[in-house]
Amino acid sequence: MKKIFTFCILLLFFSLSLNAQGYISGDLELRNDYYVKDTAIGASGTNHYDDLKSSADSWLTLNYTNNDWGFRTGIRLDMFLNSRFHNPNNDAYTAFGVGRWFIEKDFKKMTLTGGHFYDQFGSGIAFRAYENRFLGIDNAIFGVKAKYQLNDNWFVKGFVGVRKNRLSFYKPIIKGLNIEGYIPIGDKLTLSPGIGVLNRTMDEESMSVVANAINASPLETRFVPKYNTYVFTAYNRLNAGNWTWFIEGAYKTHEAINVALGQAYQDKAGSVIYTSLTYSKKGFGITGQFKRTDNFQFRTSPEDNQTLIKGAINFIPPINRQNSLRLPARYQPASQEIQETALSLDFTYTPIKGKTFNFSFSEIHKNDINLKTYALDNLFRELYLDFEWKISKKLKTLQGFQFVQYNQDFYEGPAALPVDVQVYSPFFELSYKIDNKKSIRAELQYQSAKRDFGQWLYALVEFNIAPKFSVSVSDMWNFKPGPNKSSKNEHYYSVYTSYTQDQHRFFVSYVRQVEGIVCTGGICRLEPAFNGVRAGINTSF
Amino acid sequence: MKRNKFLYFAMAMVVSSLFSCKEEGPFINFEEGQNTLVDTSYLSTTPIPSQNKNVLFEEFSGVRCSNCPAGNAATNSIYAANPGRVVPVTIHSDFLGFPYENDQDLRNDEANEIANSLGPVGQKPAAFVNRKVINGLRLLGSISTWSAEVANELAQSSFVNMNLEVVSSDLTERSLRYRITLSYSAAADHHNLGFFLTESEIETDQLDGSVHVTGYIHEFVLRKAITPIIGEDLANSVEQNTVIVKEFEIDLDDFDSEKIWDMSHMYLVAFIRLDNDNIENAAMVKILP
């Protein structure tokens, strides 16, 4: 790894000395957490709270681009010092090194990439290599990729490599081929079709683990697992006037999958169908989505299916609304790999300028839908309504209501949890511009659930002096915990301030955070309770 | 046109690399295993004393391995020097194991599975001592170290004492009924219980140095893993002073339909395997007393 690092640095300076047309860009993200034990909320019992008391995570990226040469290269230094991003409930993780390096060169219509790269086919159902560092996700592929522009509207790309695993690699080999195009038909109709195929080949060591587990399972459940698994995908986006229709179907050949933790492997093929239809015109928009997933578990190895994000090669997009407000975002369903039938409807209406209504409905079931018990056996249901009102140039408000029905046992098991958590969350937000630079924002939210954490109140006040300074104070008060919670009247307060100088942003905060499932784009992980100080720097150049 | 030809060629190459021939897959055992006749447990009223562990000594050998007779001799020597404490299993995996003409094949799927999943085994003779990783290596390739590593392991205490008995065996029916009694001197986390069948006094040709020897006698050759090579789940956790008694029955014809194995020279091996692959304890008994 040191040789690679030296090579990239030399390459960078060599490039600089030869041609001044290129430019360097990059960014730094640094976060320090300081832990203060707080047994009342469960922020204890790990070595972060008992002994270590602090952790630091940092990503420093340096890229060089020379458009005259059609050449790009980059390197990223990752540092995890007593980190708890990857496995927050376990011991600290310490490692540092080159988290990403790549070189890329254009040759007329061909682009070649070597090193770590991020990419996806279609919506990512068959293949998506991406990074979400604060969820502990870095699914880069390390290998070579070639993209060939067949003509102005069509390209083909292929790659072969292995998936990154923190600062090393998973051993199974991944190959992929994708053809995508753009077909204009008349003035108002366009098609953007694509097809892709993926192949994952297991290594002997991973296969031995799987084979041993199958040999140890009951005789009637045993089968010969496959070294090679193939995924085929076909997709198309149609734009016709105000209409947009996207559809993707993917099929995975049979392989060993973990249908449920602790159960024997099963030999199953998988499929996903995902579609969205949107109509949009000035002041009005409506989007309907549907997804059906059936045994579409696609990881570097079946043995990696034990956790939500380990070894993932693909990404199944979520259907439900992605909420950002603190309390309405508490109950989010993770996209399911084994089975899920989901639909959603999003509606936006602006009857007059400054007044906008948003309505959203989503519902998620298992695949064996029984019409007689349809309303009762859903996994997730959300009804959301808000009203944005720009009262004047200085004052605007957001008010709304959310209802969620959430099968906590299904999404957060295997511990026995409530199967029917019904949550009601009204919310209100006010933003007021004091002058051109100063503004103040306030949020007030309430949440009521008969189970889980029970009733919450959340309030936040934020003061900004653009573009440099921001300070906020908030409290999330669990004033009436649910019957299964031993905690009483806990306050989860936070104080946050940031200062921006040029492109550098410094922040420091005190946070008392409740445990919970944190989801971003349908990818979820358990975020344990936290109590302490968080400080860091974000900068780009 | 040239460009299109190149493109078609490139695509054909990529697609053909995606789809290759039908694969054989890893070894999966679809045979009926042992029938469980008794499965019970109780808490002992008196404390169970801790005993030192026995050693499952798995030696990798092959009929075309020129140095393997020396390995076999070392195994026999270790076995003789530690009566009742060392459980030898000679594993003939594919590497240097292809049989000579007219000889029976000492290799089997389980042997290869052990070599592949716990190895790789790129040299013979070599051995596992309770499948432990010692100084970074599980596979001990130097014969001179075997005896000392076995002695180290024999000096360790085990949380479980094993008593393996043959309840009855029928030479005519080629059936066997056996009982394992596990007595826990300390609490234990998840572990597995496994059984092997081995056979001694098997006569085949063998390479010995540069000499092709006929009528070479092989001892303790792995014939069959009755359970998976890592054993079967026994318990997620066990309390101190627990006693588990299990009784099983097998029919050798289920595994050896051609009746090649000689019951009078066969042994039953039992072992306790931990989640880190280490063998905690082992026992061996002759099928026909």
With an 8 Å Cβ cutoff, the interface of chain B facing chain A consists of 7, 10-11, 14-15, 17-20, 23, 25-30, 32-33, 113, 116-117, 120, 192, 227-233
Element (H, E) at A104: strand A93-107
Average pLDDT, chain B: 87
Tokens linked to A102: 């790549």
Q: Residue B2 above 70 pLDDT?
A: no
Query: Could you tell me if A428 and A444 are in contact, meaning their C-beta atoms sit under 8 angstroms apart?
Result: yes
Phi, psi of A318 (to 5 degrees): -80, 160
Residues B255 and B28: their CA atoms lie apart, in Å, by: 14
Give the distance from residue B235's alpha carbon to the nearest chain A alpha carbon, in angstroms: 13
Which chain A residues are Cβ-neighbours of B5 within 8 angstroms? Answer: none
CB contact under 8 A, B113 and A224: no
* Chain mean position to CA A72: 27
Residues A386 and A514: their CA atoms lie apart, in Å, by: 26
**Per-residue pLDDT, A417:** 74
Alpha-helical segments (H) within A45-100: 47
Q: Which residue of B has its CA nearest to A160?
A: B14
Which chain A residues are Cβ-neighbours of B192 within 8 angstroms? Answer: 216
**Per-residue pLDDT, A132:** 87
CB contact under 8 A, B7 and A148: yes
CB contact under 8 A, B15 and A214: no
CB contact under 8 A, A225 and B117: no
Query: Could you tell me if B58 and B91 are in contact, meaning their C-beta atoms sit under 8 angstroms apart?
Result: yes
**Per-residue pLDDT, A12:** 54
**Per-residue pLDDT, A414:** 66
Annotate A316-347 with three-state secondary structure: CCCCCCCCCCCCCCCCCCCCCCCEEEEEEEEE
Under DSSP, the state recorded for B48 is: P
Q: Any idea which fold B32-286 has? A: Immunoglobulin-like (2.60.40)
The reply to whether A308 touches chain B by the CB within 8 Å rule is: no
- For testing contact with chain B, the best of A151, A160, A210, A215 (most B CBs within 10 A): A215
- Picking from B151, B118, B127, B54, the residue whose alpha carbon sits closest to that of residue B277 is B118
The reply to whether A209 touches chain B by the CB within 8 Å rule is: yes
Give the distance from residue A209's alpha carbon to the nearest chain B alpha carbon, in angstroms: 7
Among partner residues A150, A215, A225, which is closest to B228 by beta-carbon distance? A215
Query: Could you tell me if A257 and A295 are in contact, meaning their C-beta atoms sit under 8 angstroms apart?
Result: yes
Give the distance from residue A4's alpha carbon to the nearest chain B alpha carbon, in angstroms: 27
Q: What average pLDDT does this structure show over B215-231?
A: 91
The reply to whether A134 touches chain B by the CB within 8 Å rule is: no
Q: Which residue of A has its CA nearest to B227?
A: A216
Q: Which residue of B has its CA nearest to A198?
A: B18
pLDDT band at B9 (very low <50, low <70, confident <90, very high): low
CB contact under 8 A, A212 and B14: no
Q: Which residue of B has its CA nearest to A201?
A: B18
Q: Is A436 exposed, middle or buried (0-12, 13-18, 19+ CB in 10 A)?
A: exposed
Q: Looking at per-residue confidence, does A212 or B245 come out higher?
A: B245
Q: Residue B249 above 60 pLDDT?
A: yes
| Sign of torsion over alpha carbons B62, B66, B71, B76 | positive
**Per-residue pLDDT, A261:** 67
Neighbours of B52 (CB within 10 A): 14
- Picking from A495, A460, A458, the residue whose alpha carbon sits closest to that of residue A479 is A458
- Picking from A159, A129, A121, the residue whose alpha carbon sits closest to that of residue A143 is A159
Helix (H, G, I), strand (E, B) or coil at B96: coil
- Picking from B255, B53, B30, B75, the residue whose alpha carbon sits closest to that of residue B158 is B53
Which chain B residues are Cβ-neighbours of A209 within 8 angstroms? Answer: 117
Tokens linked to A378: 């859903």
CB contact under 8 A, A211 and B27: yes
CB contact under 8 A, A199 and B18: yes
Q: How much of chain B, in percent, has pLDDT values that exceed 90?
A: 46
Domain range list for chain B: 32-286
Q: Which residue of A has its CA nearest to B30?
A: A219
Counted across chains A and B, CB pairs separated by less than 8 A come out at 73
pLDDT (tens place) for every residue of chain A, 541 residues total: 555 555 555 555 555 555 557 999 999 999 999 999 998 888 888 888 888 999 999 999 999 999 999 999 999 999 999 998 877 766 788 999 999 999 999 999 999 999 999 999 999 999 999 998 888 889 999 999 999 999 999 999 999 999 999 899 999 999 999 999 999 998 889 999 999 999 999 988 788 788 878 877 878 888 999 999 999 999 999 999 999 999 999 999 999 998 876 678 999 999 999 999 999 999 999 999 999 999 999 999 887 655 667 888 999 999 999 888 999 999 989 899 999 999 999 999 999 999 999 999 999 999 887 777 776 678 999 999 999 999 999 999 999 999 999 998 888 876 667 778 999 999 999 999 999 999 999 999 999 998 888 999 999 999 999 999 999 999 999 999 988 777 778 999 999 999 999 999 999 999 999 987 776 666 666 778 899 999 999 999 9
Residues B249 and B34: their CA atoms lie apart, in Å, by: 6
Task: Please name the residues in contact with A388: beta carbons below 8 A apart, sequence gap of 6 or more.
Answer: A355, A356, A358, A396, A397, A398
Under DSSP, the state recorded for A50 is: I
Q: How does pLDDT run across B157-207, given as a tens digit for each residue?
A: 999 999 999 999 888 888 899 999 999 999 988 888 999 999 999 999 998
CB contact under 8 A, B26 and A208: yes
Kindly write down the DSSP assignment for every residue of A212-241, as one continuous string: HHHHTS-GGG-----SEEEEEEEEEEEEET
**Per-residue pLDDT, A371:** 78
Q: Which residue of B has its CA nearest to A197?
A: B18
Can you say whether residue B232 is alpha, beta or left, with left for phi > 0 and alpha for psi between -120 and 50 degrees?
beta
**Per-residue pLDDT, B1:** 47
Q: Which residue of A has its CA nearest to B20?
A: A228
Among partner residues A177, A210, A216, which is closest to B18 by beta-carbon distance? A177
Which chain B residues are Cβ-neighbours of A148 within 8 angstroms? Answer: 7, 10
**Per-residue pLDDT, B20:** 57
Query: Could you tell me if A274 and A290 are in contact, meaning their C-beta atoms sit under 8 angstroms apart?
Result: yes
Give the distance from residue A127's alpha carbon to the nearest chain B alpha carbon, in angstroms: 15
Which chain A residues are Cβ-neighbours of B191 within 8 angstroms? Answer: none
Q: How does pLDDT run across B29-81, given as a tens digit for each residue?
A: 777 667 778 888 898 888 899 899 999 999 999 999 989 999 999 999 999 99
Helix (H, G, I), strand (E, B) or coil at A283: coil
Task: Please name the residues in contact with B79: beta carbons below 8 A apart, sequence gap of 6 or more.
Answer: B57, B86, B88, B220
Which chain A residues are Cβ-neighbours of B120 within 8 angstroms? Answer: 204
- For testing contact with chain B, the best of A147, A201, A212 (most B CBs within 10 A): A212
